[in-house]
Structure 1
């Protein structure tokens, strides 16, 4: 975590951006992203130069030519603020925009970069702050970027781009990514799911980074993300770079459009919190998705997309609005029937409605399913999360009540002891046949049983007798009072 002096520095720079007239937190992060990228390029060339000196050979594919030496971070950072400002605005940003031919996803996303830092003094302050961060320390610079991204939600602007970190952690832990997985988020935003999956692999499967073949897969073909917002692509790419992933596949794509490329049955794990507000025109929506489910609703189209993208045997953990679980339209029912009958629906984890506050109060759930194309649903595990470790109001302050550790513990035994739990419990299993009888309704309340405590009331005549005694006492008191006053 970012703490102490570094956190204070970031907060001061953030405040300087705001007082300088940049009030959109995404724009602040975008400007810092450009500077982080140019510094990263300088570090890469420095490493290549050290290797060349050691081997007494020329630098292979230099990023900066000798005439461009003044564009390197290590050089312009020492210039006076006014000189630095002119170099970055007039030369460094055009240099970044011209890097697209290099094939790097980062350089491709920099093609339409714009420099909007308002003053030389602010630029100097930001450069000084970033220069004090050890870029070779993956944990430090990764935490730096995570802290910057947290500002998006705390500022209450564009908060829909961020899924709460503890919910992402839960979904990644429950799906347990493996070193051989190909992981995709078709609505990746800042890349939170992909970054967390990469950290899980590092922690649980350290050999994935020592074996040459697996290391190549980890850095170049394990992580895939789509988005149709160029700012998000830049930020998401840099987030992954700073978490130590060299060349993730982060691409511009409107995942639901007719023009989107294939990638059918390519991925083994999908982690996503897709946008679920609004609908699309039939004409602009992929015909392949329409064949799976005839609808204009984005939340249903994304589920259809996930089924298309997964390889047989692939699994998914995705956040959906409650309406997906019980919606009565033909499209809703057909999609739920397909998950239960044609694939393997593993679990429905109901989240409390305050999870996405302050910017959304919608009720949601996490669906866990496996693509089989041949059915396989036996029992479906349900969990009713009532507390996630934070208050469920707009402030979202930390609280002691937290069901998420219990979700993980019980998920591990969802195929054994959980099947014996009564439906009055917080988690339980429901046989497929019961779900079929209910018309494939997946709302937890449809199956949860509530036991009402029996309350014994006194006989009415006894209560009336007590009232009469009280009335007699009141009448007697009034009579005594009246006698005292007469």
Structure 2
């Protein structure tokens, strides 16, 4: 895991180099060489400490050792000469294996400033080689600086997650072990250490031959030569004399297709390039998505008794594309034994992506009728960018329960009495009953409530409701504690007033996690998620008693809100009296059942949160190649402005002859317009300046809501807010309207800039024609469009998933209230 100290050291080293080596790539090369140079010397020192002898800096090369270069008593100029000569000659060092000599081949120091070098080496000297990942941490952080890290979904796997997976899969000394996307070889080294640790006792120590065979049974592939180089170094430094890591494209090459493994461990990249992967035809699942192909590859390359642990993105778990469903069906029927859900943020600071672990066992899966679903809430580190260590750690308990579940299945003990505290066991028939094969465990949680079987209680009997205090405008300040008003909770105003008053009673102080209910004007339930604040009037702070859980009361919000609406009074400010509010009845199960209800709902809510993150964060981005030609819109499109027929002519509006498009259609229908909410008559079309726009017209808003865009699927007209972009007849061989539609998302910032800073934004058709856009060849346009359309379908599937999970929450509370 990338720790703060490692990052700071790398940043400091770059800051030192930048004046002499301004190019980031050259900085990376110099830092990498220095790290490897220093770590070789560390290994020599470690060997000598245990009574052995140095192997790297020996003979004539002994004078170039790191310790001599950075040691006390050596002058800056002497250190410069030694280090410069050392890295230049290191490729000739007979004490280095071929691998190391190739790394230092043609290496040189690109500057001659002794003080800069001394400062730089001083920072590198602070690194200690105390575990196999430190070099990888430093190197991959360097890659992230150049923008390489994460571009292909290649995120560093934290060491504790690697060890967790390895301990569950439990590789043995005779197993053939593979990582088909090995990165820095973290999984391979962890598996090696696990086997060594498992064979330490006197009854089963590894013989010399077994150690040699074990090292030969471990292999890895990676498409990146940099990663291959680093893996080889890492394995060599862990006493693999001749490590087997190959530069190999696992998804498109066939030369190693017939090589199988007893154990496969992987965190494969899961971002597909534009246009998708172009695999060969030997995969069982037809797809161009790398995450699908990698999981397929891993499953298909297990021996008959093989097992695997693989980290996958959420798309594998629940996306509805045919390839994803086909893969899940294959896994459920023949390979999958357990799924472990990880918290989002495990891969911070590289990515907040949500992931899960699939545990595969080819032999066990075919004998078992169940799948275990487990959930890690906390992995021992907070989920922020810094990933600081915390006390909460579910990994040991989850590991114990997963291992016990697999043991019971393997030994035929049965799972009738096995009730894991971190998950559940689900029949395979349930997983496949709807053909979706969804691998989200929460989906299969059995509801704990039946309709209308709970006693009723009045709100006033289960909690105290503390109304906020009235603040005068004179109490408002620019600093202090926030004053919570209804508009702050509903989102209609994010601007807070503050107060520094010290005489506010504690009952009016709101703390993180408090339940608030607005009972005047806007009715709503809210969980406060901010620092301590003070409560304004017209909002209750809820203080539940021992009979009810706060979260249970919160999830009763829809039914309580409906009851409040029936009891409100007032004309200008509709509200409910406290007496009427406290007299509302709610079902009151036992605390145990309340906890189960809350647990079930929060399981659905976590799925909603994950899906909503996909929906809210997806942007249809297009990576523009600077080599693409650029054209002005007016060169390739006719720009046609819309208008509004006179409302004084009823006959223009009394027929539904011609669709008439406005910005509200985007808000109600989406960006693909196959119908409109308003229509006009043929008379309006023929007797006004309106023009009928053909299908595949891109509709671009240039007034008020500047930058909004859509594409028509039907002939239509528009109001004057929109300009229609119709690809010219002569431009159709070089411009796909769908590509123009996708590019329109990129126009917004430029249009806003061109619209000026007046209160009424406006971009004229003349200005719009001068907007410049890249124009790659038609095949590239269509490939980009296909990719974005596929991504859009995934986003749409998440929207559907949100609706489905929200429906499940409503169903749960409906049963609690006896509504179903």
Q: TM-score, normalised by structure 1?
A: 0.73
- 2:314 paired residue number: 322
Counterparts in 2 of 1:111-126, with a 5 A limit? Answer: 119-121=113-115, 123-124=117-118
Whole-Å Cα distance in 2 between the matches of residues 410 and 404 of structure 1? 10
Greater CA deviation, 296-305 or 16-25? 16-25
Q: Which has the larger radius of gyration?
A: 2
| Among candidates 226, 231, 234, match of residue 236 of structure 1 | 231
Counterparts in 2 of 1:154-173, with a 5 A limit? Answer: 158=149, 160-173=154-167
Counterparts in 2 of 1:5-154, with a 5 A limit? Answer: 15-21=12-18, 27=29, 30-36=32-38, 39=41, 80-86=75-81, 88-89=83-84, 92-93=87-88, 95-96=90-91, 104-108=98-102, 119-121=113-115, 123-124=117-118, 140=130, 142=132, 145=135, 148=138
CA contact (8 A) 1:37 1:238 kept: no
Asked if 1:176 is matched to 2:156, the reply is: no
- 2:434 paired residue number: 438
Asked if 1:266 is matched to 2:260, the reply is: yes
Gaps of 5+ in 2: 460-562, 569-575, 581-820
Whole-Å Cα distance in 2 between the matches of residues 86 and 181 of structure 1? 49
Whole-Å Cα distance in 2 between the matches of residues 172 and 28 of structure 1? 34
The Cα of 1:302 is off from its aligned counterpart by: 0.7
- Structure showing greater relative contact order (alpha-carbon pairs closer than 8 Å, 6 or more residues apart): 1
CA contact (8 A) 2:380 2:392 kept: yes
Aligned length in residues: 446
Whole-Å Cα distance in 2 between the matches of residues 399 and 141 of structure 1? 21
Asked if 1:221 is matched to 2:216, the reply is: yes
Could you list the per-position Cα deviations for residues 25-56 of structure 1 after superposition, in whole angstroms to 9, with x for gaps in the alignment?
A: 96565223431466489889999xx99xxxxx
Could you list the per-position Cα deviations for residues 213-270 of structure 1 after superposition, in whole angstroms to 9, with x for gaps in the alignment?
A: 112123x413212223233233333333333433321222222223x53153432211
The Cα of 1:349 is off from its aligned counterpart by: 0.6
Counterparts in 2 of 1:76-475, with a 5 A limit? Answer: 80-86=75-81, 88-89=83-84, 92-93=87-88, 95-96=90-91, 104-108=98-102, 119-121=113-115, 123-124=117-118, 140=130, 142=132, 145=135, 148=138, 158=149, 160-206=154-200, 210-218=206-214, 220-258=215-253, 261-262=255-256, 264-279=258-273, 284-288=278-282, 291-341=283-333, 343-372=334-363, 375-415=366-406, 416=408, 419-420=415-416, 426-439=422-435, 440-451=437-448, 456-458=456-458
CA contact (8 A) 1:45 1:63 kept: no
CA contact (8 A) 1:17 1:28 kept: no
Gaps of 5+ in 1: 52-61, 472-486
The Cα of 1:64 is off from its aligned counterpart by: 9.2
CA contact (8 A) 2:16 2:120 kept: no
For the residue of structure 2 that corresponds to 1:383, the secondary structure is: strand
Whole-Å Cα distance in 1 between the matches of residues 390 and 39 of structure 2? 38
- 2:755 paired residue number: none
Q: In structure 2, do the counterparts of structure 1 residues 455 and 191 end up closer, same or farther at CA, with 3 Å as the change threshold? A: farther
The Cα of 1:399 is off from its aligned counterpart by: 2.5
Whole-Å Cα distance in 1 between the matches of residues 368 and 270 of structure 2? 26
Whole-Å Cα distance in 1 between the matches of residues 77 and 448 of structure 2? 72
For the residue of structure 2 that corresponds to 1:206, the secondary structure is: coil
Whole-Å Cα distance in 1 between the matches of residues 304 and 99 of structure 2? 28
The Cα of 1:198 is off from its aligned counterpart by: 2.2
Q: In structure 2, do the counterparts of structure 1 residues 67 and 361 end up closer, same or farther at CA, with 3 Å as the change threshold? A: closer
Q: TM-score, normalised by structure 2?
A: 0.46
Query: How well do the aligned residues superpose, as a CA RMSD in angstroms?
Result: 4.7
For the residue of structure 2 that corresponds to 1:413, the secondary structure is: helix
The Cα of 1:297 is off from its aligned counterpart by: 0.2
Larger helix percent: 1
Could you list the per-position Cα deviations for residues 178-234 of structure 1 after superposition, in whole angstroms to 9, with x for gaps in the alignment?
A: 11122221211122212222222232223787512112123x413212223233233
Q: In structure 2, do the counterparts of structure 1 residues 141 and 295 end up closer, same or farther at CA, with 3 Å as the change threshold? A: closer
For the residue of structure 2 that corresponds to 1:311, the secondary structure is: strand
